[in-house]
Amino acid sequence: MNSHYNPDGWDTGELERAGALARELRSIAGANARVFAVRAPGRANLIGEHTDYSGLPVLPAAIDRSTIIVAAAMESREVTLRNAAPDFAPRTFQLERRIPPFAQGDWANYVKAAVQGVIDHFGALGVALARLRGAALFVEGRITTAAGLSSSSALTVASALAFMAVNGLDLPPLECAPMVARSERYVGTMGGGMDQAAALFGRRDHALFIEFNPLRVRPVRMPSDAAIIVADSGEIADKSGSARAEYNRRVVECALAARILARTLKLQGVRTLGDVVSARVNWNATDLVGILERAAPARLAPDLEEAKRLLDMTGISHESLLHELVGPGASSVKLDPAKPLEIFRRARHVLTETERVIRGAELLEAGQLEAMGALMNESHASLASDFECSTARLDKIAASARAGGALGARLTGAGFGGSIVAMCRAADAPRVIESLDRFYYEPLGIEARGRRAVLHAGDGASTIELAVA
């Protein structure tokens, strides 16, 4: 059992879902098997996009939609998975030192990522692989997938907690969140730690000001008259193909910007833009962006030769430089030889976005919704122009939310398709929804139901043990 996690986060519906899954599970695991149930929520990110992998802050909220896993230990060393949704086929895999992934895009890779993460973490602490037991895991997700709500991280978090529970292992959330964030890189995206931290630290009626390295989380009360709306554009960000390549390229671009700044400012031990910011006590975005502009060309060739010269690293291989820049997992980064690396504009987004996140937390706390909305709109503009991860459809759906009275609207998650998050006064929420339907969904002939919703900030993940019925 994970004593660190809030067992009160469960609502009646979730407990009923878990109970139904447990009855099915006991027919496999035995009528008297110990059965654990885990819930992990999705998240909506209010502001702070593409800052987490630079170690810079974010301001998401866990939401009141969750993925549930009901789990029991098995005698064998096999993990068997079933998903209540018929689109996700049953899967089985063995516990091994290095678990080979299923084909790219397979849902069960998120479970493998979590199990691998637990094996690695506890292995380093001296827990032998041979001591770990296999598990039967029954999954039921109520977070719309591919809709910007981070259903994938909810699945990874829930899987890690479930696998730990059946093996009698425990980890406080401050250690669990970085472990799961690292482990999710198994699927090939060089992601930061926002989604996993939001899923673990969520607090009802609160957003979360999250800082990294070391992880710190400060709940920020949501103003009572605010409503969060998330709306899915219906444009699918191809997470296991082009969108992943674009995401990983931006991780490299930001890491290069950090190294160039470090070299210019003579800072030691810098890996990320967050390290640069930490080393400059009274930093501001304008100064750092100006320094970067004078230090290096705005864009660099993707063969990295120019970058090596600038960093005085000539002679090292392309692969070693990538490894040096983004760490373990670098082998999943393939840079498109036809696309230059945008250094200046990417860094300008990340640094100005960081200022917006810090200001956003203050504004939210003070209940200043108009000003918070304006920051969200600025964030979208910066993501569109400097980070180039918006699309015509995301721009249109954000504009449709604003036309209905949203105080701010912006793409959320990695972009390249996916969803927007909007904030409005609670009383205006129906008008915003109406406007989304009228100006976005109807003209495109998309069924709006189930694609847009008012979401509430909810509690973080937790594990409970279910009594034999």
Asked whether position 209 contacts ligand NG1 by CB under 6 A, the answer is no
Do 228 and 46 form a contact (C-beta atoms < 8 A)? yes
Closest CA to 404 of 222, 227, 235: 227
Pick between residue 189 and residue 400 the one whose CB is nearest to ligand NG1. Answer: 189
Q: Which stretch binds ligand NG1 (CB under 6 A): 49-57, 72-80, 373-381, 441-449?
A: 49-57
- Catalytic residue (one of 52, 64, 195, 386): 195
Least distance (Å) from ligand NG1 to the CB of residue 19? Answer: 30
Least distance (Å) from ligand NG1 to the CB of residue 190? Answer: 8
Asked whether position 192 contacts ligand NG1 by CB under 6 A, the answer is yes
- x-or-dash string of contact with ligand NG1, 171-190, rule CB under 6 A: -------------x----x-
Asked whether position 360 contacts ligand NG1 by CB under 6 A, the answer is no
Asked whether position 109 contacts ligand NG1 by CB under 6 A, the answer is no
Do 151 and 42 form a contact (C-beta atoms < 8 A)? yes
Residues 6 or more apart whose Cβ sits within 8 Å of residue 291: 261, 264, 265
Closest CA to 189 of 115, 105, 111, 131: 105
What are 462's strand-pairing partners? 39
Least distance (Å) from ligand NG1 to the CB of residue 21? Answer: 25
Q: Residue 223 is encoded by which pair of tokens?
A: 């103003």
Position among 10, 41, 52, 307 found at the interface with ligand NG1 (CB under 6 A): 52
Asked whether position 39 contacts ligand NG1 by CB under 6 A, the answer is no
Residues 148-183: b if buried by 16+ CB within 10 A, e if exposed:
bbbbbbbbbbbbbbbbbbbbebbbebeebbbbbbbb
Do 117 and 180 form a contact (C-beta atoms < 8 A)? yes
Q: Which stretch binds ligand NG1 (CB under 6 A): 146-154, 338-346, 354-362, 445-453?
A: 146-154
Least distance (Å) from ligand NG1 to the CB of residue 148? Answer: 6
Maximal C-alpha separation, the chain: 69
Residues 6 or more apart whose Cβ sits within 8 Å of residue 411: 49, 148, 380, 383, 384, 389, 390, 394, 398, 418, 419, 420
Residues 6 or more apart whose Cβ sits within 8 Å of residue 258: 54, 270, 271, 272, 273, 275, 276, 347
Least distance (Å) from ligand NG1 to the CB of residue 361? Answer: 16
Pick between residue 247 and residue 439 the one whose CB is nearest to ligand NG1. Answer: 247
Asked whether position 191 contacts ligand NG1 by CB under 6 A, the answer is yes
Distance in angstroms (rounded) separating the CA atoms of residues 127 and 175: 16
Pick between residue 17 and residue 452 the one whose CB is nearest to ligand NG1. Answer: 452
Asked whether position 53 contacts ligand NG1 by CB under 6 A, the answer is yes
Asked whether position 194 contacts ligand NG1 by CB under 6 A, the answer is yes
Asked whether position 153 contacts ligand NG1 by CB under 6 A, the answer is yes
Asked whether position 148 contacts ligand NG1 by CB under 6 A, the answer is yes
Sites for ligand NG1 among residues 361-420 (CB under 6 A): 413-414
Least distance (Å) from ligand NG1 to the CB of residue 182? Answer: 11
Closest CA to 66 of 153, 136, 137: 153
Compute CA distances 127 → 119, 133, 173, whole Å: 8, 12, 19
Pick between residue 9 and residue 148 the one whose CB is nearest to ligand NG1. Answer: 148
Closest CA to 252 of 184, 317, 332: 332
Distance in angstroms (rounded) separating the CA atoms of residues 440 and 18: 37
Asked whether position 195 contacts ligand NG1 by CB under 6 A, the answer is yes
195 is catalytic: yes
Residues 59-90: b if buried by 16+ CB within 10 A, e if exposed:
bbbbbbbbbbbbbbbbeeeebbbbbeeeebee
Pick between residue 28 and residue 236 the one whose CB is nearest to ligand NG1. Answer: 236
Q: Residue 271 is encoded by which pair of tokens?
A: 């890996």
Do 427 and 409 form a contact (C-beta atoms < 8 A)? no
Residue nearest to ligand NG1 (CB): 191
Asked whether position 211 contacts ligand NG1 by CB under 6 A, the answer is no
Do 180 and 114 form a contact (C-beta atoms < 8 A)? yes
Least distance (Å) from ligand NG1 to the CB of residue 464? Answer: 26
Asked whether position 150 contacts ligand NG1 by CB under 6 A, the answer is yes
Pick between residue 191 and residue 458 the one whose CB is nearest to ligand NG1. Answer: 191
Asked whether position 50 contacts ligand NG1 by CB under 6 A, the answer is yes
Asked whether position 139 contacts ligand NG1 by CB under 6 A, the answer is no
Name the residues that contact ligand NG1, by CB under 6 A. Answer: 49-50, 52-53, 148, 150, 152-153, 184, 189, 191-192, 194-195, 413-414
Catalytic residues: 195
